[in-house]
Amino acid sequence: MSRKALIVEDEPVTGGLLAEILRRRGFEPTLLQEGKPAVGWTRQHQPDLILLDLMLPDADGYEICEDLKLDKETNLIPVIMVTARVHHKDKVHGLQVGANQYLTKPFTVDQLNDAINAVFDWREELQRRGAHG
Ligand code: CA
């Protein structure tokens, strides 16, 4: 069974690129071009990974991330923020609301793959700790 990924991205070119990279890694990606349905979709489908754009037409990526990370049903799902914002304070804000990784546009395939590897390491570490009390 392939792993599910949610991509929340309003720019079709970027969304399509992200989906293609994830497909090559064996994910089954779902692309949402609006932010508001993202939290409900995540609760329902429990994806293994979320790529979240910060600047969406109908919602703020920070708020979506915070909602996901404050909810016990979704807080262990890795979130990679994908954004054109490059200021240090934006990155800090992203981490404050619980983002696991922060990817700046334009990104390379290697950078995205590194971010995915990093969040899965985090996830495995959590599971190891949980298993050993
Ligand atoms: Ca955007």
Q: Which residues contact 114 (CB under 8 A, 6 or more apart)?
A: none
Expressed in angstroms and rounded, the spacing between residue 126 Cα and the centre of ligand 1 is: 31
What is the edge-to-edge ordering of all strands in the sheet holding 49-53?
27-32, 3-8, 49-53, 79-83, 101-104
Instruction: Tell the burial category of 64 from Cβ atoms under 10 Å away from its Cβ (0-12, 13-18, 19+).
Output: buried
The enclosing domain of 20 has a CATH number of 3.40.50.2300
Q: How many CB atoms lie within 10 A of CB 86?
A: 9
Expressed in angstroms and rounded, the spacing between residue 52 Cα and the centre of ligand 1 is: 9
Expressed in angstroms and rounded, the spacing between residue 55 Cα and the centre of ligand 1 is: 4
In the DSSP assignment, the letter for residue 26 is: T
- The pTM assigned to this predicted structure is 0.92
**pLDDT tens-digit readout, 11-63:** 999 999 999 999 999 999 999 999 999 999 999 999 999 999 999 999 999 99
Question: Based on the structure, what is the number of domains in the chain?
Answer: 1
Strand partners, 28: 4
* Domain that includes residue 30, residue range: 3-129
